[in-house]
Structure 1
Amino acid sequence: MGEGVFGVVKSAKDKGNGKRVAIKEIQQQIDTQEQIELIENEIEVMQNLKHPNIVELYESFAGKDMFYLVMEFVDGCELFELILEFGSFTIEDSSAVLSQVLHGVEYMHAHGMAHRDLKPENLLVDFSQLIVKIADFGSAKVFSPTDMMNNFVGSPTYIAPEILLRKPYDQSVDMWSIGVIAYIMFCGFPPFDDRLTTEEMFLQIISGKYEFPSPEWDLVPLHCVEFVKDTLRVNPKERATATMLLEKHGWLRSSPQYGKKRRLNQQGGRTTNEATAQLHQQFSQRLQQHHLQRKATFQKFKSIRNFSL
């Protein structure tokens, strides 16, 4: 299903109930203590997160040469793949995705956990349930208000300025990443030019210099521009929290169940179809069409692979 820094993710089936699961295999021969701590953090964080917009960890165990993380199977693809196909998103589609990501992050932060590597590759869109789920907690960390973090983690395009400056930081680094993701969804390219050298791009991020160029941003509503500005603030103390964004930006509150869902999120509860109600019909249709196209491509590849002379 995928491959990461320390191992691979494979699809499997639970013999007990026949349910499909995803198993992350991590090599035990890890070189540094820091890498070991990252794996331990991933397990600790996921064990304490139960939310419809977060991939659930069912169990973890060690084998002879591997650690195994048995997780919820997501029948879909990365948000990154949809960005490559769609380019920029409609405001309705963006709202459907961002509102769910914000609900997941709000819950995570309320429970003292920071992801620290939010990006489209780590946001999974489940076609069967039409739900967006936050995944890959390899860089996640448990935090407290009095204990700032200082590890240098994250992905270049989405990393917050304070991490680049090697300053102590808190969970607000996740909100910066959400701002970058939102910017990309609105226009189809990142706010900080990834065609530059890494050093030059990092200087842009540290200075917080970005633009809303024409013609890509000409038709993007002002409230979407404000959303980006609320999150891409160099000073983390001025950066909006997930709760602030959900309360301020009414265009994210597309569902009549919004109020009920907000209360459940704050209490750590969940309902069966709460996230499904957030998705717009247009987005659902596009996802289903994309799913059918991916299945057709897979079947074509399978037939070619099985062809023999």
Structure 2
Amino acid sequence: MNCIEKKNIGTGSRGEEGDSDSRKSGEQHSSKSNGSIMGSCSVIDERVLVDPKLLFIGSKIGQGAHGKVYEGRYGDQIVAIKVLNRGSNPEEKDALESRFAREVNMMSRVKHDNLVKFIGACKDPLMVIVTELLPGMSLRKYLLSIRPNQLDLHMALSFSVDIARALDCLHANGIIHRDLKPDNLLLTANQKSVKLADFGLAREETVTEMMTAETGTYRWMAPELYSTVTLRQGEKKHYNNKVDVYSFGIVLWELLTNRMPFEGMSNLQAAYAAAFKQERPSLPEDISPELAFIVQSCWVEDPNMRPSFNQIIRMLNAFLFTLPPPSPSLLEPDTVESAETTSNGTVSALSARSRGKFAFLRQLFAAKKTRSPQMSG
């Protein structure tokens, strides 16, 4: 491994190699123009800074539209090291440094089992963010590796709950991720859970904040991020944390189908179809009405009609309750703790408390079965 001071490395964010359809120009403009937010986040707490002399860079493991990520070492710990560019001119430098400080401050204040663990940051000689290194691959690569086969339904829903929990934590802290997609979801070593990564496009949500539209990645972007006319670079429009709920609906569809959203379309065609034609990926004919309802409620056109992640978690758990028990290898520890176990170790039913907790959702699902699901939005 080479010392981090060896060279200046290019821009980017954690993601897959060649992630070309994330928006760059508008995002940089947003970092500069969001005055009050940037002003309050431009200073990094020195307690989160790491000693660059103890930081070493190894091989590159990811590259996106905004940066490069390397496997490395901090002291005796194997870590992931994200290196950001300082910019080629004073204006760009100010924007990128503000964005870096914002990302560090957000990552350092939110902690959750389904968020990639923040270890520290370094602002000299390079702008660096250090996180835990997950030995598993990204969700995108994992799905590609098993395609055309589909995930086991319990596993797909377990991953979905992990993702929803991570985003529920962010939203509870007033943070919008804005770039939820399989590239930014990383599998743990045992491939039984996922963690959300990459706060590069994340924003703090305030009542009056105006944010740059067309940030994120086209196939997963909420339609309200577009205008009925082409937005001028840097033009602002209102949106809220429900953009993450829309993206989650697309990711959930992928987990259930293991197909690319808007197959056969270019990135721009997919964006146009979702925003201006209200098109959504086709649901499988054999999908249960319960799951169809959850997916469609997430990607409905009106953001105010989309559920919160707290509601999504409850709906997913309620649907999991209706399924036959999974094999022991797929059970999560908290699932085992809340279940009644027979003498041979198999799960027979959830506790009475859990049954009561989700009774109202089961009734809702039962009502949905009486009619065919309709495409939302």
Task: Return the TM-score normalized by structure 2.
Answer: 0.62
> What is the rounded CA distance, in whole Å, between the counterparts of 1:127 and 1:34 in structure 2?
36
Q: Does 1:63 align with 2:124?
A: yes
Which of 189, 209, 213 aligns to 2:259? It is 189
Q: Secondary structure of 1:13's match?
A: strand
Q: Deviations over 1:84-138 (max 9, x none)?
A: 1223323111111000000111011001111100000000001148431100111
> What is the rounded CA distance, in whole Å, between the counterparts of 1:173 and 1:141 in structure 2?
12
Question: Which residue in 2 is equivalent to 1:170?
Answer: 240
Q: Which amino acid aligns with 1:55?
A: V
Q: Which amino acid aligns with 1:201?
A: A
Question: Which residue in 2 is equivalent to 1:25?
Answer: 83
Q: Does 1:54 align with 2:115?
A: yes
Contact 1:118-1:178 at 8 Å conserved across structures: yes
Q: Deviations over 1:56-78 (max 9, x none)?
A: 211111223x2111111111110
Question: Which residue in 1 is equivalent to 2:296?
Answer: 229
Question: Which residue in 2 is equivalent to 1:43?
Answer: 104
- Judged with a 3 Å threshold, the aligned counterparts in structure 2 of structure 1 residues 205 and 30 are, in CA distance, closer, same or farther, namely farther
Contact 1:46-1:137 at 8 Å conserved across structures: yes
Q: Deviations over 1:242-282 (max 9, x none)?
A: 11111223135675736999xxxxxxxxxxxxxxxxxxxxx
Q: Does 1:209 align with 2:279?
A: yes
Q: CA deviation at 1:187?
A: 1.6
Q: Does 1:11 align with 2:79?
A: no
Q: Secondary structure of 1:169's match?
A: coil
Question: Which residue in 1 is equivalent to 2:319?
Answer: 251
Question: Which residue in 2 is equivalent to 1:131?
Answer: 193
Q: Which amino acid aligns with 1:113?
A: I
Aligned residues: CA RMSD: 2.5
Q: Deviations over 1:160-214 (max 9, x none)?
A: 10112263101111111110111112122244x253244432221113223536x
Which of 213, 219, 236 aligns to 2:286? It is 219
Q: Which amino acid aligns with 1:28?
A: R
Contact 1:101-1:134 at 8 Å conserved across structures: yes
- Judged with a 3 Å threshold, the aligned counterparts in structure 2 of structure 1 residues 151 and 218 are, in CA distance, closer, same or farther, namely closer
> What is the rounded CA distance, in whole Å, between the counterparts of 1:48 and 1:96 in structure 2?
26
Question: Which residue in 2 is equivalent to 1:277?
Answer: none
> What is the rounded CA distance, in whole Å, between the counterparts of 2:213 and 2:100 in structure 1?
14
Q: CA deviation at 1:235?
A: 0.8
Contact 1:53-1:103 at 8 Å conserved across structures: yes
- Judged with a 3 Å threshold, the aligned counterparts in structure 2 of structure 1 residues 141 and 258 are, in CA distance, closer, same or farther, namely farther
Question: Which residue in 2 is equivalent to 1:274?
Answer: none
Q: 5+ unaligned residues in a row in structure 1: which ranges?
A: 262-309
- Judged with a 3 Å threshold, the aligned counterparts in structure 2 of structure 1 residues 7 and 258 are, in CA distance, closer, same or farther, namely same
Give identity over the alignment, percent: 23
Question: Which residue in 1 is equivalent to 2:137?
Answer: 77
After superposing on structure 2, the runs of 4+ consecutive aligned residues of structure 1 that deviate more than 6 Å are 258-261
Q: Does 1:101 align with 2:178?
A: no
Question: Which residue in 2 is equivalent to 1:113?
Answer: 175
Contact 1:118-1:174 at 8 Å conserved across structures: yes
Higher relative contact order (CA 8 A, sep 6+): 1
Q: 5+ unaligned residues in a row in structure 2: which ranges?
A: 1-60, 228-235, 322-330, 339-377
> What is the rounded CA distance, in whole Å, between the counterparts of 1:252 and 1:53 in structure 2?
19
> What is the rounded CA distance, in whole Å, between the counterparts of 2:210 and 2:263 in structure 1?
29
Q: CA deviation at 1:7?
A: 3.1
Task: Return the TM-score normalized by structure 1.
Answer: 0.74
* Count of residue pairs the alignment pairs up: 254
> Larger Rg: 1 or 2?
2
Q: CA deviation at 1:36?
A: 4.0
Q: CA deviation at 1:41?
A: 2.3
Contact 2:114-2:196 at 8 Å conserved across structures: yes
